[in-house]
Chain A
């Protein structure tokens, strides 16, 4: 089984039914796998705050949501996280490509990488960092935790994690 299949399986097993995404190279395999799953309605969005709006609506409509995005977009979602997802107490797992970490070839990506955990910390968003292959084993528990506490939860997946596969 590939890591992409495994992540998609975990999303389905957690009862997730609605996924929105803005792509990242590191997430291409997961997104392709999601598109092969009839249980996962995938609606690509044009900006991550728009995507969080879609997720909020989908959740109120009875579908557990998930957003797939890159860490560089965290800045454009701060207001939405605070005034929609957190203010109304909504669950939102965020599967995030953590660009700008070890192995990164593009210097500019590091500029947002250094702010990523600080922003998540400032927003009091529970954050999990997948760095080694085995870290994926925590995904089912992280998803259950997200829908237990009705909070946004960040899963940062770095190049070492993806490179291990």
Chain B
């Protein structure tokens, strides 16, 4: 399974929750597969999906799922201690770990070599860290949502991208639509 296959699998689960989606091809794929007003698409700013999602979870009570990538987490590793040390039981960090920088041409990341992001998250103090195969992502998400406890899921999948158009929606429209969904 590649990232887009995971998105198809989890779309019915994440559709009812607030989602902050990582820059580049991940956002393009999610937008093409299941666009929702509850999705916040990042159009730039590599690395901050987990931080934006965490700020959102701290500010209100609805469940927030931050969809990040292995390369993006590596670029903002400081996010993990912040997540670990502050309470937000409505926060789920889903790291889709395909061992590569997908949006830039599938160059390998260190997470695909000897660095374990699940162990990094654990060492940073994250209590509930689940590493799973791509096929198990949906079940892991359902469990985390039902338990309503802060969880980091590292879903291991194959490297690869689907071709979808660049998101043409204006950023202010994305943001305004999302904020209305947050308040609804």
Contacts and interface: CB of A to CB of B under 8 A. Distances in A.
Whether A associates with B in a native complex is: yes
Contacts of B58: 18, 41, 43, 54, 57-58, 61, 63
Interface string A29-44: 0000000000001011
Interface string B28-56: 00000000000010111101101111111
A115 interface: no
Given A54-B51, A84-B44, A63 B78 contact: no
Q: Size class of B's contact patch?
A: 20 to 34
A18 B59 contact: yes
Interface of B is mostly: helix
B59 A62 contact: yes
Given A60-B182, A61-B59, A46 B54 contact: no
Interface stretch (A5-13, A85-93, A154-162): A85-93
Contacts of B56: 57-58, 60-61
B82 A84 contact: no
A57 B182 contact: no
Interface of B: 20, 40, 42-45, 47-48, 50-60, 76, 78-79, 81-82, 86, 171-172, 174-175, 178-179, 182-183
16 contacts: A44-B82, A50-B82, A53-B48, A53-B51, A53-B76, A54-B58, A57-B56, A58-B55, A61-B56, A61-B58, A61-B60, A65-B55, A79-B44, A84-B45, A89-B172, A89-B175
